[in-house]
Structure 1
């Protein structure tokens, strides 16, 4: 019986969304609230069917996904390189870290005016902003993972008389792998949110954030709701995929109490 219970999906997390959906339906169907804000499900469904039928929603999804992947690849790649440099080389860390942490205090979207001046209003600006957002958490976690390798691991490497290169590839990087993946996981989540925000402000091309911006300007609340739901569902799917991969990749770790 215990096994059967454990195998059942936990549906308790659906209680709050279901309650919110029911509350929205009650308010919109009975006209208890502002009709402009609390639009009916019939209107939302009709708009969704139109956007799905003409392909605009799918184009927006792939547009946002493409910018996120490009920005994440650039930002995480550069962050991985810098994090390894500062984490494995104390001199480089002392030189780079003060400037890095000072720049990190600047909000990502504060760079928007400068990026638009350099790159113009378009997809390149969005990708650059996403890359910057993914860069910071990657550097921080990679550097921390390399610097916080348990001392006994290093002592074993010393006892085996490993070279510096062997110490890095056989001891430090495997021990730092969970922290590195956590940084990439956080960077990907940040990249998704930053892509939506950048699209909302730049509004160039196709994208889910652009749907939000265009719908707001047209006063189309149904488009806003569709955009919000689509963004939330994609973000949830990304989060679940990362959690699954993390469990599979690092199943050897002892569970945290």
Structure 2
């Protein structure tokens, strides 16, 4: 009978390629990645040229140079306070929401009874827009940090919970039968088969939840905040300063991209054992 070690989902290690065989490039997509970084800079340069040529109205679409000048005039300390406030709210809310979603999703994925009991309520709550939560949270929690973090946690909870349930339910039945043949305990079945097989979809849900956390953070700060990027958006709208509005939007895009890149790097590290069609295509060279 096969031992537990035979159930490892890690791909086997093959000997090194024969001497003289050309090794594949380390990153065949390097040129495309560089082009992906240059593309938004080229877009900003195009907007700058169109505004300078009076093709785009400056009072509606400010030149990127004026946007950067506005951010510079805010000062490092003042701008840092806004960035720090928004980032801390997202990290706290996303951490709470994702942790609760992982627990709830795992319980519902493993138990069809719990899934049948809670899924209708969760799907109904998931359809509620972010702004609809704001007056309720302000009424319950006041105007301090608690309602802002709670709103971010709500935004992060549902995509993560849904991905955990779908990931566990989508595990190949043959893997489960293999674990039962080898008489794995329920705990070993979860940790060695269900969880590794569901991790790719779970990480997809985490990345989606993180992006929604930034969106819900803006919704919270637009209404009840004295600092943060959402507050800058509201202040720019009320004072008629599109440069401040676009500056806050650019900072939100930058922070969202950086946070997603960190989570994507963590996903690549945790799931480095995978042997997928995409990995094979990359190792064989980009087309």
TM (normalized to structure 1)?
0.89
Please give the alpha-carbon distance, in whole angstroms, between the structure 1 residues aligned to 2:206 and 2:119. Answer: 19
Q: Which residue in 2 is equivalent to 1:205? A: 226
C-alpha distance in 2 between matches for 1:132 and 1:160: 40
Residues in 2 aligned to 1:5 and 1:107: alpha-carbon distance in whole angstroms: 41
Q: How far apart are 1:40 and its partner, in Å?
A: 4.3
Show the counterpart of 1:162.
184
8 Å Cα contact 2:163/2:202 also seen in 1 = yes
Give the count of matched residue pairs: 255
Please report how far the alpha carbon of residue 170 of structure 1 lies from its aligned counterpart in structure 2 after TM superposition: 2.4
1:180 match: secondary structure: helix
* Residue 264 of structure 2 corresponds to residue 247 of structure 1: no
- Separation in 2, partners of 1:15, 1:162: 51
Match for residue 213 of structure 2 among 191, 203, 228: 191
- CA offsets 1:12-47 (integer angstroms, 9 cap, x no match): 335643443233222332334433224345533432
Cα distance, 1:40–1:89 mapped onto 2, change above 3 Å: closer
Contact kept in structure 1, 2:48 and 2:65, CA below 8 Å:
no
2:258 is aligned with 1:237: yes
CA distance in 1, matches of 2:267, 2:49: 40
Structure 2 counterparts to residues 212-231 of structure 1, below 5 A: 212-231=233-252
Q: 1:81 to 1:48 in 2, by over 3 A?
A: same
Deviations 1:90-113 (A, max 9, x none): 221121112222222222322222
- Are 1:12 and 2:25 counterparts? no
Which of 100, 115, 120 is equivalent to 1:78? 100
Q: Where does the alignment leave 5 or more consecutive residues of structure 2 unmatched?
A: 1-21, 279-287
| Larger relative contact order (CA 8 Å, sep ≥ 6) | 2
Q: Corresponding residue for 1:130?
A: 152
8 Å Cα contact 2:93-2:156 kept in structure 1: yes
2:110 matched residue in structure 1: 88
Contact 1:123/1:205 (CA < 8 Å) preserved in 2? no
Structure 1 residue 153, shift from structure 2 partner:
1.2
Distance in 1 (alpha carbons) for counterparts of 2:26 and 2:88:
41
Instruction: Select which of 101, 106, 112 maps to 2:134.
Output: 112
The 1:99–1:225 alpha-carbon spacing in structure 2 relative to 1, beyond 3 Å, is: closer
Corresponding residue for residue 58 of structure 2: 35
* Residue 7 (structure 2) aligns with: none
Whichever structure has more helix as a proportion of its residues is 1
- Secondary structure (helix, strand or coil) at the match of 1:6 reads coil
Q: CA deviation at 1:234?
A: 1.1
Closer/same/farther in 2, CA of residues 3 and 144 from structure 1, 3 Å limit: closer
Task: Tell me how far 1:144 sits from its aligned partner.
Answer: 1.4
Structure-2 residue corresponding to 1:48: 71
Counterpart contact for 1:68–1:195, Cα < 8 Å: yes
Inter-partner Cα distance in structure 2 for 1:118 and 1:61? 26
CA contact (8 A) 1:27 1:38 kept: no
**Deviation string, structure 1 residues 158-186 (Cα, Å, up to 9, x no partner):** 11112222222222222222222222222
Structure 1, unmatched stretches of 5+, are none
